[in-house]
Amino acid sequence: MRDIADRMRLVRVLAAARPLPLALLTAALLIQSMIPAATAAALAFLVGELGAAAGHGTADLFAIAITPLGAFAAVLVLGHLAEAAVAPLEQLAAARIDGRHRTEVARLVTSSDTIAALEDPRTQILIRQALADRSRGYDRTPADGALAQLRWAAGLVGAVAACAVLASFSWWLVPLVLLPAALNRVIRTRDNLKLIGFWREATEGELHADVWRNAAVSPAEGKDVRVFGFAEWMVNRMQEHIHEANRGLWRHIDRMLRLSWRHALIVAAGLVPAYVAVAMSAADGRATAAVATAVLTAGWSVFLVLGPSNDMYDIVSAIRVLRATDELRAALAERSPAVRGTLPPPDSPGPAPLVRFEKVSFGYPAAGRTVLRDLDLEIRPGELLAIVGLNGAGKSTLIKLLAGLYRPDSGRITVDGVDLADIDPALWREKLSIVFQDFVRYQLSARDNVALGQASLPADQSLIDAAAASAGLAEVLDRLPDGWDTPLSRSRSGGVDLSGGQWQQVVLARALYAVRRGARLLVLDEPTAHLDVRTEFEVFDRLAANRGETSVVLISHRLSTVRQADRIVLLDGGRIVESGAHDELMALGGRYAEMFAIQAERFRRGHDDRIEEVVRP
């Protein structure tokens, strides 16, 4: 039953191609598949007319032949028209079907509010299956399957038509030819599906080779490959994986090749009796030469239409893609919160919201480790709050909770007293602007890269310019060949690659654009790791000057930048362990003071080193 449901699903998928192209394609495929039968019939017509005329002398023969010849020509022209039309129509249908499918998957994934499911590797596997990357060669898209099914159905119609021609001689010819032809198809399809099983195994095994294949064409990996000189090693490793992955597949193919005599036997069993019978009848005069011609032509066209094809593979693979899409939908639904907040964020009394973490605990399900433990924290309206802590202390996790990308395991986060869980996440995020450590590098224009900081409102060039000015992006822009319109990737024509530092400035501009668009809480997660000194200094100067009444949360382990904050909190062991202004924390002489001392020491030590160097022999 599930098979039938899946097959019907593939039919429904076709709707995306829209009626007119679909109707034309169906017609073209039907015509194409009926051509063998029609040719047989036209041929029989011609031979019949000529045979009938033969008895009355040859004088009128030419005139008599013209009509059946015309019919024959018409069949051919129609057949070729259909055949030529199939390619662009299939392209068009596939473009629409797959285009809709791909955007649907992307929409499905982007519309989940939390990212709990998204960060689960199993979800990522489902996404990859659902997105079916044709460039991999073995993946099939929904369009491939839907169109293969259409071709397959048209082929059946063609077989019926060919059988009808056979039946013009005798009804029993139909099962005589059809049964071996069907048996042949069943065996071949089974062999082919087994083949596909091995093929999948092989391609999955080759993922191990892909690691090195991708490394071979990536500029980043490429530098290491060259400097450390392991290109040859890498190629050999690829080949080992390929050998290993394909062993089963190639063994199966060898077996299929050895057993191919079976197919010859089946086809012969279907054709020999039919051909002998019709030849005998016609020679005896019990059947006409026209009927004999028709049977001889149509007989083997049954085997042609029911021959092996890749259609079944396309169909099965496409069904797998559709199922993966369903599972993806389910996985996303399962991991998203049962109740989605609907309230708008409360109107803050002040310029920015008061956000409180109240006894918040959180751990990633996969890691099984608690990252935050009964954490209490206040982000006060308009303050510049710095969060510091060692790598892995949970700083980034805290931000994800603040953005509603994860829900706390226990405790709650409130915005001006309202539980964040009750607030519409989309509306809350309009109040937020976050620069993540692994920010997105859009291969789009510089303008888009800034404007996508707040994408739910139309881009506003004057605000973009203002944000760029605040972020000190002007110098970067000056160097771009097409200014704002330059794509920020060398893989785009006319595009350029930016350095890490340049990217960070773009992203700062992106964040400040969101602020100008109405964000009231700006979060910067390690914003200056790639910035040089002057820019870092300027950025903070600018930030302080431009933030207006927006609250700023700054995550950093660069304590020199942190000291300007109104308040610094130190995150350690999943809790806030120290909190206060720079001077207060230094006076406290705790962990913060210790960390600051280490960094400051390096500057002093720099000079000490220098003195040592002078006396170096």
Partner 1 sequence: MRRYLSLWAEFFLLSWRRRPLLTAAALAAIAGDVLALAGCALALRAAVDAIVAGDTPGAVTAGAVAAVAYAAYLVLRDLSGLLRSTVVDRVGRLDLHPEVYRDIAGLDGIEHLERSDFLDRVMLVRASPGRLVASLWNAIMTVANVAKLVVTMLLLGTVSPWLLLLLLFAAVPVWFDHRGQRVVRRTELDTAEDLRLEQHLANLAVGAASGKEIRVAGAGPELVRRQAEAWRRATERRVRAHAIAAAWRFAGWLVFVAGFCGGLAFVAYLTAQGSGTVGDLMLAVTVAATLRQTVHSTVASTTETAGSGRLIEPYLWLRDYVAAQRAAASGAVEPPRALRQGIVLENVTYSYPGTNRPALRDISVTLPAGAVVAIVGEYGSGKTTLVKLLAKLYRQDAGRILVDGVDLAELSTTGWRARMSAAFQDFGRFHTTFAETVGLGDLPHLTDRARIERAVREADAQELVARLPDGLDTRLGAELGGVELSEGQWQRTALARASMRDDALLFVLDEPTASLDAPSEQAIFERYMARARTLSRATGAVTVIVSHRFSTVTGADLILVLHRGRLVEAGTHDELMALGGRYAELYGIQAAAYAEEPIS
CB atoms within 10 A of CB 254: 10
Whole-number Å distance between alpha carbons of 155 and 198: 27
Tell me, residue by residue from 113 to 152, as one string, x for binding to partner 1 by CB under 8 A and - for no binding.
x-x--xx-x--xx-xx--x-x-x-x---------------
Whole-number Å distance between alpha carbons of 16 and 353: 45
The residue with tokens 């060919």 is: 162
Assess 172 for contact with partner 1 (CB under 8 A): no
Whole-number Å distance between alpha carbons of 495 and 478: 14
Task: Give 7 or 530: the residue with its C-beta nearer to partner 1.
Answer: 530
Whole-number Å distance between alpha carbons of 197 and 24: 34
Assess 533 for contact with partner 1 (CB under 8 A): yes
Assess 267 for contact with partner 1 (CB under 8 A): yes
The answer to whether 21 and 86 are in contact (CB under 8 A) is no
Whole-number Å distance between alpha carbons of 219 and 64: 73
CA distances from 14 to 2, 460, 586, 606 (A): 19, 39, 68, 69
The two tokens of residue 609 are 């080193």
Task: Give 152 or 442: the residue with its C-beta nearer to partner 1.
Answer: 442
Among 12, 56, 223, 359, binds partner 1 (CB under 8 A): 223
Among 207, 330, 333, 587, binds partner 1 (CB under 8 A): 207
Which phi and psi angles does 332 have, rounded to 5°?
A: -70, -40
Among 335, 340, 407, 530, binds partner 1 (CB under 8 A): 530
Assess 317 for contact with partner 1 (CB under 8 A): no
Assess 444 for contact with partner 1 (CB under 8 A): yes
Tell me, residue by residue from 371 to 400, as one string, x for binding to partner 1 by CB under 8 A and - for no binding.
------------------xxxx-------x
Whole-number Å distance between alpha carbons of 481 and 497: 12
Task: Give 79 or 382: the residue with its C-beta nearer to partner 1.
Answer: 79
Assess 362 for contact with partner 1 (CB under 8 A): no
Whole-number Å distance between alpha carbons of 465 and 467: 5
Whole-number Å distance between alpha carbons of 179 and 580: 87
Shortest Å distance, C-beta 208 to partner 1: 7
Whole-number Å distance between alpha carbons of 397 and 44: 78
- Region near partner 1 per CB under 8 A, out of 146-154, 318-326, 372-380, 450-458: 450-458
Assess 365 for contact with partner 1 (CB under 8 A): no
Assess 43 for contact with partner 1 (CB under 8 A): yes
Helix axes 173-205, 207-217, angle to 10 degrees: 60
Assess 257 for contact with partner 1 (CB under 8 A): yes
Shortest Å distance, C-beta 559 to partner 1: 6
Shortest Å distance, C-beta 183 to partner 1: 13
Q: Of the candidates 444, 482, 447, 453, which has an alpha carbon nearest to the alpha carbon of residue 465?
A: 447
Kindly provide the b/e burial profile for residues 292-316, where b requires at least 16 CB atoms within 10 angstroms of the residue's own CB: bbbbbbbbbbbbebbeebebbbbbb
Task: Give 167 or 279: the residue with its C-beta nearer to partner 1.
Answer: 279
Shortest Å distance, C-beta 221 to partner 1: 4
Task: Give 293 or 470: the residue with its C-beta nearer to partner 1.
Answer: 293
Tell me, residue by residue from 478 to 517, as one string, x for binding to partner 1 by CB under 8 A and - for no binding.
-x----------xxxx-x-x-xxxx-------x---x---
Helix, strand, coil tally for the chain in percent (to 5): 65, 10, 25
What is the SS3 assignment for 265-322?
Answer: HHHHHHHHHHHHHHHHHHHHCCCCHHHHHHHHHHHHHHHHHCCCCCHHHHHHHHHHHH
Whole-number Å distance between alpha carbons of 377 and 547: 21
Assess 67 for contact with partner 1 (CB under 8 A): no
Size of the site for partner 1 (CB under 8 A): 188
The answer to whether 385 and 554 are in contact (CB under 8 A) is yes
Assess 59 for contact with partner 1 (CB under 8 A): yes
The answer to whether 14 and 138 are in contact (CB under 8 A) is no
Task: Give 88 or 359: the residue with its C-beta nearer to partner 1.
Answer: 88
Taking CB under 8 A as the criterion, which residues in 555-584 touch partner 1? 557-561, 563-564
Taking CB under 8 A as the criterion, which residues in 400-439 touch partner 1? 400, 403, 405, 425-426, 429-430, 432-434, 436-439
Assess 193 for contact with partner 1 (CB under 8 A): no
Among 381, 453, 527, 574, binds partner 1 (CB under 8 A): 453
Taking CB under 8 A as the criterion, which residues in 583-612 touch partner 1? 595, 598-603, 605-607, 609-610
Task: Give 179 or 276: the residue with its C-beta nearer to partner 1.
Answer: 276
Shortest Å distance, C-beta 44 to partner 1: 10
Shortest Å distance, C-beta 454 to partner 1: 6
Extended beta strands in 461-510, E state = none
Shortest Å distance, C-beta 347 to partner 1: 20
Which phi and psi angles does 118 have, rounded to 5°?
A: -65, -35
The residue with tokens 């090195």 is: 212
Shortest Å distance, C-beta 123 to partner 1: 8
- Show the CA angle centred on residue 258, arms to residues 253 and 260, nearest 5°: 95
Size of the chain, expressed as the number of residues it contains: 617
Among 32, 149, 203, 293, binds partner 1 (CB under 8 A): 293
Task: Give 374 or 538: the residue with its C-beta nearer to partner 1.
Answer: 538
Assess 235 for contact with partner 1 (CB under 8 A): yes
- Region near partner 1 per CB under 8 A, out of 5-13, 147-155, 357-365, 449-457: 449-457
Which residues have a Cβ under 8 Å from the Cβ of 414 and sit 6 or more positions away?
Answer: 355, 356, 358, 420
- Region near partner 1 per CB under 8 A, out of 236-244, 315-323, 411-419, 572-580: 236-244
Assess 174 for contact with partner 1 (CB under 8 A): no
Task: Give 216 or 421: the residue with its C-beta nearer to partner 1.
Answer: 216
- Region near partner 1 per CB under 8 A, out of 3-11, 266-274, 318-326, 566-574: 266-274
